[in-house]
Structure 1
Amino acid sequence: MKDQYHELYTTFRWWVPQRFNIAEACCHRWTTTSVDARRIALYSEDETGNREVWTFARLQEYANRLSNGLRRMGVQRGDRIAVVLPQRPEALVAYLAVFQLGAIVLPLSPLLGADALEYRLRDSEARIALVDDSSVAKLQSVLDRCPMLRQIIGIGTEDDDSLPWRTLIARQESSFEPVVTLAHDPAILAYGPGPSGSAKGALLPHCALIGHLPGFVASHNWFPQTGDVMWAPAEWSWASGLFDALLPTLYFGHAILGTRGHFSVERSFQLLERYQITNLYLPRAALTSMMKAEPTPAGNQQLALRSVAVSGGSVDDATAAWAQSRLGVTVNEVFGHAEACYVVGNSHEKWPARPGSIGRPYPGHQVAVLGNDGHPVAPGEVGEIFVNRHDIHGHPDPVMFLGYWRDDEATQARFQGDWSRTGDLAKVDEDGYLWHSGRTDDSFDASGYRISPEEIEQCLVQHAAVAQAAVVSAHDADRGALIKAYVVRAVDTPIEDAELVAELKSLAQARLAPYEQPDQIAFVNDIPMGPTGKVQRQTLMAREAAKAPPLPASPALPALLP
């Protein structure tokens, strides 16, 4: 294969129209002819196996009805509308409806704990929230503390305080005149991980979708091709699911699969075969789970995969070889953040993919690994990954976020001149490939999610028997990275260790998202602290690293190769 990277990277030019709206680009323009309007936009399947098929015409009709309903509720340009829904058709309808109103989508995961949900609703001053049974009870528990939230729209809920979705939709007209938006008008307010009171909302413009397209196209081996169908288990409430899968797929007029229910390997293979998925986007933890559940190359499914993009951690040689033999594809690793997503990655049909490397900067993005002196590090040295506001030709990069919600100080701290820091460390080799080397802060990845230790610690110390708590990543041979909490008991607490563990897990279950709940709890006499009182997590992480077994040689690896 000829390495085409240099030619593609140096010749790429952005074209961003002055007027641009995500709803127009992802749906409305596909309804202008009857042929396109009948194209399938969404396959939907819930955890019980119920299935729906939505065309672009149906999506547009429902989006128009919801836009009319929201307008009659008083929603205006710039208002924040919370969408607290899983991967279901109504979530996509809500996004499109809010976009074409010129309002701002606040995507929130139904998995968020009550405290995190309340903080994001209050901080954003969201006016309306759309919920279903997965989130309505949690929302009701914090409603009294969210004074700006004036209306809840319930989808299939029995809640008396919610306006039923079906009633609202049925009363509205099916035509709507969209608000004209500029490309750099705000469209999405995406909150990252973090404890309540410090999680920051990244404000993303409509043109951020355009900024994601080079990485999306490249990581999926020049998407779209005839018959392409996308699936990404990542929630649409996260930037990875929304911008790295859902919206780019619809932008190109192709179908995506939306699923509800917990990720399972058995179901994943069934879905891949049933819908003849050609393009798959996964967190690394999910791909590893698939390999461990089906380690042998043989499989009974008739798969149609032609690309797999993976984020959230480095793919090792064994997993890469398994994907090649079991799934029939070479994995393309990708990297990015909500503030500037899909900026680095691989595209193995255009340039060689190196297992374990997060790739090279995608066309259109100027990326550098800088040292503390602000200069590029030498090959093999560790520095922080930075993304420039401009591409290599000096043109603005449309992927860049507008700033943090009502926090100019945090926005300014993010930048060094035109360079935006990511908080991720990497090495760069002689050929320009980046190799992830951890984080500059204390967050870490577990089960495909970015974990903020502080939020979990704040929850645990609410228990009267806990004096201090510190959370770090722990290694498990089968499950990979886990969440481990070190706890110092309060003085003179008679409760037994086993009972306290049960109570702490119950507290975490009530207050935190499922992916934030500690997998392990250990009691210690003290937690290492620095001179300023900051927890020295590196000391705790060093303890965990010492317990982790060395990575074994893989004598079975050659057998996985075709």
Structure 2
Amino acid sequence: MTMIHLRSLTLQVMSWTTGLKWKGSASPDHTCVKSKMKDPMVIFFTSGTTGYPKMAKHNQGLAFRSSVPSCRKFLKLKTSDVIWCMSDPGWILATVGCLLEPWTAGATVFVHNLPQFDPKVIVETLFKYPITQCLAAPAVYRMVLQKNISNLRFPTLEHCATGGESLLPEEYEQWKQRTGLSIHEVYGQSETGITCAIFREMKVKRGSIGKAILPFDIQIIDEKGNILPPNTEGYIGIRIKPTRPLGLFVGYENSPEKTSEVECGDFYNSGDRATIDEDGYIWFLGRSDDVINASGYRIGPTEVENALVEHPAVSESAVVSSPDKDRGEVVKAFIVLNPEFLSHDQEQLIKELQEHVKSVTAPYKYPRKVEFVSELPKTITGKIKRKELRNKEFGQI
């Protein structure tokens, strides 16, 4: 178990069991290279939820952005903070949460070599070590909640944040009730880093992914790059003209055609569907490929999934479109049941779940098809691979 303190450019790796283990600095023979802002720094692979992963190349601006105070409103790390970011080091969330943000703030990074996410070990760790901030995917919080551990009042934990996929409102409420802490949601992509979030001082609107973080100007746009009015569904767009903001990727490596595809007028088109309200809060609906067109109604899968997981029978769900001879497409839900409901009458349970979705969303949004499964296909970061389920429905795999 190690703790890496990033107060200066010298890294100190400490062990709580053995004391100071190593302290070093750069070799006197080392020659520093003075890089420029536009020099390439890192390539991240996209998660591949809707297709093959792409290589998103970033320049040095990604690191510089973390030193700008207006860009650090999300975590607000202090030198006294100990942050545990439970993300694979290959992903952009870890680069920001485990390196750039702590390094800039002079905070301490907690590192645990977990071979896989084990909710029991996670809980034990949060009780044993003085961790003040936790940054993890919603799946991690979900696994902890599902274990029904009696005491989740962690002695030093002050702030919880999540990103990578949508946090379910039910999970937010359960975590707050059992820990006394809110989970602050963050949104971003491999191409963008963290672009919007629920800041610590902000009012939390359940289901919203928060507001834009400077220097990003985020608008909801149509396919031509026109800005849409509040409460109108469109694409999450980041303004790139006349000035491309720090932290936005340079382009897809060796793929200029794919880079040009996401440049839409004055905006980068994220491919994610959302709305924005009058207060500037953004409401994520799903990837453009995930939105279901049923009898002229456009239905975002996230809202239906949120409704389903509120029912005590549902552990996890994934909602996709399914072919229908009369309606073209209908909503289908793949559902993982909680163990105590496995023996229930499935036909009756399907009717109950359908009525539940009708009552909390709208009558036209309920899943006309339901399939109970033992698990859902996911990426290695825990995101549900809806494309795999959708392709299966349409006979492509």
TM-score with structure 1 setting the length: 0.49
Q: CA offset at residue 430 of structure 1?
A: 1.8
Q: CA offset at residue 414 of structure 1?
A: 1.4
1:267 aligns with 2:127: no
Aligned mate of 1:276, from 127, 130, 153: 130
Change (3 A) 1:378 1:422: same
Find the counterpart in structure 2 of residue 246 from structure 1.
99
Runs of 4+ that moved beyond 4 A? 42-45, 50-55, 212-216, 442-446, 512-519
Q: CA offset at residue 44 of structure 1?
A: 7.3
Change (3 A) 1:473 1:407: farther
Q: Partners of 2:42 and 2:73 in 1: how far apart?
A: 24
Find the counterpart in structure 1 of residue 144 from structure 2.
290
Q: Partners of 1:340 and 1:370 in 2: how far apart?
A: 17
Find the counterpart in structure 2 of residue 336 from structure 1.
188
Find the counterpart in structure 2 of residue 369 from structure 1.
220
Deviations along 1:209-244, whole A, 9 cap, x unmatched? Answer: 233566873222x222x4101101111111111123
SS class of match (2:260): helix
Residues 185 and 198, structure 2, Cα contact 8 Å, conserved in 1 = yes
Find the counterpart in structure 2 of residue 418 from structure 1.
266
Residues 82 and 131, structure 2, Cα contact 8 Å, conserved in 1 = yes
1:229 aligns with 2:67: no
Identity of aligned residues (%): 20
Aligned mate of 1:319, from 158, 163, 171: 171
Find the counterpart in structure 2 of residue 310 from structure 1.
162
Q: Partners of 1:518 and 1:389 in 2: how far apart?
A: 29
Paired amino acid for 2:245:
D
Q: Partners of 1:424 and 1:331 in 2: how far apart?
A: 22
Aligned mate of 2:37, from 179, 183, 195: 183
Structure-to-structure mapping, 1:481-520, within 5 angstroms: none
1:528 aligns with 2:394: yes
Q: Partners of 2:185 and 2:384 in 1: how far apart?
A: 27
Q: CA offset at residue 477 of structure 1?
A: 4.2
Q: Partners of 1:210 and 1:264 in 2: how far apart?
A: 34
The structure whose residues are more often helix, as a share, is 1
Q: Rg: which structure is higher?
A: 1
Find the counterpart in structure 1 of residue 109 from structure 2.
256
Q: CA offset at residue 314 of structure 1?
A: 3.2
Find the counterpart in structure 1 of residue 289 from structure 2.
441
The structure whose residues are more often strand, as a share, is 2
Residues 340 and 387, structure 1, Cα contact 8 Å, conserved in 2 = no
Find the counterpart in structure 2 of residue 206 from structure 1.
60
Paired amino acid for 1:305:
L
Q: Partners of 1:216 and 1:274 in 2: how far apart?
A: 32
Residues 234 and 240, structure 1, Cα contact 8 Å, conserved in 2 = yes
Q: Partners of 2:112 and 2:56 in 1: how far apart?
A: 26
Structure-to-structure mapping, 1:126-141, within 5 angstroms: none
Q: Partners of 1:337 and 1:518 in 2: how far apart?
A: 16
Find the counterpart in structure 2 of residue 9 from structure 1.
none
Aligned mate of 1:345, from 174, 179, 197: 197
Residues 215 and 343, structure 1, Cα contact 8 Å, conserved in 2 = no
Deviations along 1:143-194, whole A, 9 cap, x unmatched? Answer: xxxxxxxxxxxxxxxxxxxxxxxxxxxxxxx641111101221010111134
Q: CA offset at residue 51 of structure 1?
A: 8.0
Residues 229 and 254, structure 1, Cα contact 8 Å, conserved in 2 = yes
Q: Partners of 1:194 and 1:357 in 2: how far apart?
A: 24
Size of the alignment, in residue pairs? 318
Q: CA offset at residue 330 of structure 1?
A: 2.1
Paired amino acid for 1:475:
I
Find the counterpart in structure 1 of residue 366 from structure 2.
none
Q: CA offset at residue 43 of structure 1?
A: 5.7
- Residue ranges of structure 2 left out of the alignment (5+ in a row): 292-300, 306-317, 321-331, 340-374
Aligned mate of 1:408, from 238, 256, 268: 256
